[in-house]
Chain A
């Protein structure tokens, strides 16, 4: 039993320091901008004019020292079957994490970690959602130390299974030899480019550029430019097009760079019963998802990507902490819809990814656009009246809503297999959910009087996602189909034949 206490690598102090600085950037900017205005009135050379610098230095020193202290005081060690962490200067905090509760170790390699061969480890526990602080972070440790933690966990788990039964011990023996990792998916550079081009990010970048320009509009001598613009316009349409093109090009390049930073060398590997995801250029990330924690699988097709036959696959996983946004893990950020089946089946053999869909009946069509007209028609009438004649263009909304409604009608559907409910619907993007029966927390059938008259109904189910729930809903299907789902979901009374757990 190693009772030896380990420290983090000194780089952790630097990482702490930089993180502290990051948090301070915003207040700093405010202080300095505010001081910039005052600076004009105070006489130069007077001692008060140095105050901001003094404050700045003090804060910097404080952040630096606290970073170092945080590193100094942070120790971890292994007990018999738990990982212990101790930190804090005045208030000492200790945290004991039993090995068996550890779900996964996630690795991040930042820019600072790389040259020293270090990693940041986030320990995910199977917190049932009650405690938001159920996980721990080791900011910087060497890869060897990380390995050590891994082996400690593995051996602890082995010890436990040894205790429970002898059969397991034999299994352990064969498993021990080598953890097999099966490559499932990797993204090529071409995929990356398509991902960047079709992502909403490009729009964000473009609007960012526009905002940026408008922010500096005060600095731009408009009148002067205006004259130039007139000349510019005389040069013709051609130049305008080129400028727009240049804008889009810059937006695209930025989008490509951002995507590359995030998704460079995106690979999915299956190791035993875990999915291991690695990605990133400057900051390498490695995330492990225990397959048993996957609550549902979601396929998203945005209209643009659907045109080219691409889609995104996301897994909803349970547990984790509040602040972790990564719970909806993009399993395949971009993949051809046709090729989806093979890798998914490898990972999730229990799922049926090509079920027989029951779609919405014909008489449900009006339900998909009827309600929209309630708000569209008044808006249209208003706009047409006040902005006659151009307002009449708002009439175009009618075919758009009609078409979208019909499109949604075409997408809506559900499928039942023995242990799985599949739901498909469209907002603007098309979503396809695959959920195992045992993951559904509840099921709700909804019916308005209008639906009742046409024998239609809607259904929604909630699964766990992160520490909260995610609701999946499909509307206006046949009442009998929906009721079939309700009956399917009702637990069957199990009599003693299934008996005791082995």
Chain B
């Protein structure tokens, strides 16, 4: 078995994902209410409402509780001298290797919600792919970004 990358992302990232989940399920709730009202108005059978409620509960459970938790537990990253290794995925575990030599540039981004929690995400671009580490403390992210960019400049082709 390969060793897991050592660094986890910020616990605040979990909070942000939960928040995203709450927003999504609020939208779903709206749709469900519309559907429920329609069903009542058109005198549809009562069990439709039950299904709608169950669906809403399940959706909220998955997207507010379970998925963010699994996702957060899974997310690992490690920036080594010669390569970057990422691990993520809720159901399917994906482990990505990006050699420093291939890194072309590194960006950090920060949306309004991330900013509120003092978080930022890092995107590492190669000539053909993009890899994002989702939620790091802003200071950490900036530091990591400059570290990757120095390492990428130093890295030499071994072939």
Contact = CB atoms under 8 A, between A and B. Distances in A.
Interface of A: 128-129, 318, 419, 436-438, 440-449, 452, 462-465, 468-470, 483, 486-487, 489-494, 498
A465 B91 contact: no
B92 A447 contact: yes
B159 A419 contact: yes
A436 B159 CA distance: 10
A436 B102 CA distance: 13
A464 B1 CA distance: 30
Interface in B140-159: 155-159
Q: Closest 4 interchain pairs by CB? A: A469-B128, A491-B82, A441-B126, A438-B159
A448 B94 contact: no
Contacts of B128: 441-442, 462-465, 468-470
A436 B99 CA distance: 14
A493 B81 contact: yes
Contacts of A129: 127
B118 interface: no
A269 to B, nearest CB: 27
B98 A492 contact: no
A491 B126 contact: no
Given A445-B96, A490-B83, 8 more contacts: A318-B127, A437-B159, A442-B96, A442-B129, A448-B92, A469-B127, A483-B1, A498-B156
18 contacts: A128-B127, A318-B127, A438-B157, A438-B159, A441-B127, A445-B94, A445-B96, A446-B89, A447-B93, A448-B92, A462-B126, A465-B128, A470-B128, A490-B83, A491-B100, A492-B82, A492-B158, A493-B82
A486 B2 contact: yes
Nearest to B128: A469
Nearest to A487: B2
B76 interface: no
Contacts of A487: 2
Contacts of B2: 483, 486-487
Contact of B129 (A438, A449, A462): A462
A468 B155 CA distance: 23
Contacts, number: 84
Interface in B57-106: 81-83, 89, 91-102
A158 to B, nearest CB: 26
B96 A444 contact: yes
B66 to A, nearest CB: 15
A489 B99 contact: yes
B15 interface: no
B12 interface: no
Nearest to A465: B128
Nearest to B102: A441
A318 B157 CA distance: 18
Given A436-B159, A468-B128, A490-B97, A442 B82 contact: no
Given A442-B96, A443-B97, A445-B94, A494 B129 contact: no
Contacts of B82: 490-493
B102 A446 contact: no
Tell me which of B1, B127, B129 has the highest count of chain A C-beta atoms within 10 A of its own C-beta. Answer: B127
A468 B92 CA distance: 25
Contacts of A436: 159
A474 to B, nearest CB: 15
Tell me which of A441, A446, A483, A487 has the highest count of chain B C-beta atoms within 10 A of its own C-beta. Answer: A441
B155 to A, nearest CB: 8
Contacts of A492: 82, 158
A2 B50 CA distance: 84
A365 B94 CA distance: 22
Contacts of B92: 446-448
Contacts of B1: 483
A448 B96 CA distance: 15
A469 B98 CA distance: 14
Nearest to A448: B92
Interface in B105-152: 126-129, 131
Interface in B20-42: none
Contact of B158 (A441, A445, A494): A494
A496 B130 CA distance: 31
B137 to A, nearest CB: 25
B129 A469 contact: yes
A483 B102 CA distance: 20
A486 B158 contact: no
Nearest to B87: A445
B99 A491 contact: yes
A242 B131 CA distance: 58
